[in-house]
Structures are given as structure tokens and as C-alpha cells.
Amino acid sequence: MYGPKRNHVLFLFDGFLENFGFPILALILLLGGNSSDSMMTLVIIIAVLPIKRFVEFMTTTFEINETYLIIRRGLFTKKKTEIPLSTITTVDLSQDLLFQMFKVYKIKIDNTAQANDAANQAEAKLVLKKEDALYVKQLLLSHRPEDLQEDSEPAPQERIVFDAGDFMLLGLLRSKIGYIFSVLSVLYVGGSLIDQSVDAERFIEDLLNGEAVGDISFTSAVIVILVLYLITLAFALLTNVIRYHRFTLSKKGYHLSIEYGLLQKKKYSFSLDKINGIRLKQNALMRIFKYYTMEVFVIGYGDEKEEKAQETAMLIPIAKRDRVENLLEKLLPDFELPKSLSRPQKRALPYFFLSFRFLAALLLLAGSLFTQNMIFVAGAAVLLALAAVGEVLEYKTEGLSINKKNVAVANGRFTYRTTIVKTGSIESVRCTASMLKRKKGICHIAFGFWGPKMVANPRIRNMNISDYEALTKAIEF
């Protein structure tokens, strides 16, 4: 149906900075020195890398027939990869600035093999002109040539666009506690460099008493922290707006497309039947203002390795509950938010404090008492308090909802998560508990479903065994 065909010539420049940036920078730095041996080594590396990429370009071809995507690679050692079209989950189209200039797309194809250790063998990446890329995308997702439209894509049945204001709101509501600690660390180190007489144990005490530490007063420290925090916040907001520029959801028949990006354009497309789960997330501020972010579980979206796990499988960036329910009804009618949840019994509360986090914080506090260092003791006490609050919050948020359509699991400490999966996609269920807990009717419940490895095994702690029994009855193995 298509091919055999070679990648577009811009394949040679894909990932140029990643592959050649460091060697070129090192060569520039060595030009001012006298290390001729090191310079010669770098010259050889810089010369070999383009040759390797060119050989890969010349020896890689792909074609698509009625059943398989076939990729052939190799110069001396030939390798043939056949990916069944029926197993393809996502087709990702992306463009950096260079690709946008020449109307070329990079296509990343993922299939169900990526849920196991064979992921690298099943992954495929192509570089094609826009017209070819759109045709290949439709071909891979439709699996039937009679459904294709070569000149244009079908008009979307539903189209939802999130604007810059949504992502600015999302950035404002996301927790920035980490930034504050980073700023405090930078301020302390900077103050120590300015005045070597600053004493580590007296630094915080003097600031809290309003006294000057070297040349740093309490007021000056607050102003510096505030300014650095605002700069960091502004940078985070700008990054969000650029990365998710014109975030658009489109439903076309049985396919869902997600498109976003300004400098790096991305477009994900997948069949609705490949989506086995969704997740709603709220941090503390989002819970106060009743906003949600929703992610989708489909292999290939949100788990791209070259992005170093920075991307999330976002479906709805930010919305109130009523809008989430409305969008689910339009886009993913197989999923619905739980109306009520079964919660742990009060007798289960003490077992939440038998977690590694709480016990480790308790031991740390006990050990700090022997140091007679008040800052160390105070820090350990704060960690213990946070651990205790976290366990109470988890007890309050744990929950399970079961029906013939969906199974929903709710949990979280400072970030509240509700995971909803199709009941029919669950492959295993387990209940773990000590003999004492079993006598009290308490156990940890976990189940596995077909999805990305990082999210495919939801778990809730210290639930009623009756909930486990209800779950096993609802599943059709």
C-alpha cells in the first residue's frame, strides 16, 4: 500500500544538537589550547558521527502493506522489523523549527509491545514530508485503505482548544514549594560567599529574629526571596505557555488527536479503543479551587524516552469537575467520574503509620536528638510532622469505586489522584496483608491492567477485604 520508501533527507539533521552539540563545543574550547591529541580525537568523533547517520539514512527503508509496517535496516548486518498494524496504539507527529521551515514531520510509532521489555524493538521513527506523513498516519491508524483520504484529514466531530490563560492558571495553581527551598539554598550559599563569617547554625535564627547576617538583613532576604520566586514563577508560566501553545483536542471517528507546541510542535493520534484508563490529579491549591488536570493512559503518549520523561500524558490541562464530565461525555464516553467511593474503616488508620516514610522520619528524629544540634532536630521534627500529615491525608483520600463499566481508585497525600480504568481491561487482582490484618478484614488491594508500565498497577492501602471480593466479582477474566 505504501513504499518501500526512505526517510526524508532532513533525517540527517534530526537531533543535531543532542548528537553533535557537546563534541563541537569541546572542539571549540580545545582550539584555544595546545592539546593536539584531544583535538584530533574530537575531530575524528565529529567526522564519524555524520557518516554513521548517513549510512543509517541510506540503509533504512520502510513499507506498509495490508497487515504490517515493515522496517529494514543495516549495512552489513540486516535487520527486519515487522509491526502488526492492529497493535499500533499511537502515531506521534512532531516538528522542531527546522522541520517547520521545510514542512517535514518526524513520526514516532508505538505499539502494544511497549508495555513490556520488547519496547525498543517495536518502536519506529520516520521522517517524511507533510503530505506523506499525514497519509502514513491515517494508514497506520485506520488499518483499512478504503478509509483513507490522501489529500486532507477528515473534519473533526469535536474540537476543543485550550488557550494561554488556561496554562497560566495551571502554572499558578501548581505547587511551588520546591522553588522556595531552592531559593533559600541559593541565598544561603550566596551569603556565605559574601561573608565567610556566616555561621550555619545562627543563619536562620538571626533571620527569624530580624537581625542582620553579615550584610544580609531580614528585610533584604525576604525581598530577594520574593524577587527570585517571582522570576522563577514567570519563567515557569512562560515555559508552560510555549510548550502547550494552542493545546487542541480533536475527535475524528474512532480516533483522538492531541496537538500542541510553538517551538516544538507535537501531534499525537490514537484509536479510542486503545485507551484503557484515565487519571485526574489535584495538588493542594487545585483542591481548594476545585480544579482538575486529567491524563490518559495509552502506550506511546507521555512516555517518550528522548524527552526524559518530562512530558505527561495530558488530555485536559485544567478544568472544573462539570467541564471534565462534559468533555468525557463528548470524547471518551466509556469513562465516567465516580459518584461515591468506598473508604477505609476507622480501625485501619493505625496501619497507615506503619509505612516506610513515617518510620524513617521517626528514626531520623530519634537519631537527631543525640546530635544536640537544634537545627538538625527541628528539621527532623518537621519531616516527621509532614510524614504524619501525609499518612492522615492518605487515609482520608483512599477510596474504591466499582461498576460494570469502570473501576476507580482514589489516593494521594498532598497530590490527590483518581485513576479510572475499564473494568474489562483489568488482568489481575491481588490482596496482600499480614495474618493480623486479615483477621480484622483489612488488606492492600492492587490490580494490573494493560497500559504503560509506570501506571499499569494501581494500589490502595488498608482497604476492606469486602472491597477486594467485590472487585473480583466485577471482573470478567
Same domain, 33 and 100: yes
Give the pTM.
0.75
Same domain, 347 and 444: yes
Same domain, 108 and 238: no
The answer to the question of residue 95 being in a domain is yes
Same domain, 135 and 185: no
Same domain, 144 and 175: no
Alpha carbon 189 to its chain centroid, in Å, reads 32
pLDDT at 34: 55
- Within 10 Å of residue 288's Cβ, how many Cβ atoms? 10
What's the pLDDT tens digit per position in 43-96? 666 666 778 888 889 999 999 988 889 999 988 888 988 888 888 888 889 998
pLDDT at 362: 95
Lowest-pLDDT range of 197-201, 265-269, 351-355: 197-201
What is the residue-wise DSSP string for 271-334?
A: EGGG--EEEEEE-HHHHHHT-EEEEEE-TTSS--GGGTT----EEEEEE-HHHHHHHHHHH-TT
The answer to the question of residue 387 being in a domain is yes
What's the pLDDT tens digit per position in 312-367? 688 999 999 999 999 999 999 999 999 999 999 999 999 999 999 999 999 999 99
The residues, ordered by sequence, that sit 6+ positions from 371 with a Cβ below 8 Å of its Cβ are: 377
Where residue 359 sits, what CATH number does that domain have? Answer: 2.30.29.30
Provide the number of structural domains found in the chain.
3
Domain final residue, candidates 243, 259, 277:
243
Same domain, 448 and 353: yes
pLDDT at 196: 46
Same domain, 354 and 459: yes
Same domain, 109 and 219: no
**Residue numbers of the domain that contains 210:** 171-243
Same domain, 367 and 429: yes
The answer to the question of residue 293 being in a domain is no
pLDDT at 308: 43
Per-residue CA distances from 350 to 67, 293, 436, 442 (Å): 56, 31, 13, 12
Is residue 242 over pLDDT 60? yes
Cis before residue 4, ω within 30 degrees of 0? Answer: yes
Are 90 and 107 spatial neighbours (Cβ–Cβ below 8 Å)?
no
The answer to the question of residue 122 being in a domain is yes
Alpha carbon 165 to its chain centroid, in Å, reads 22
What the block records as the C-alpha cell of 18 is: 543532542
| Cα first-last separation, the chain | 37
Q: How far apart are CA 262 and CA 142, in angstroms?
A: 28
Same domain, 402 and 459: yes
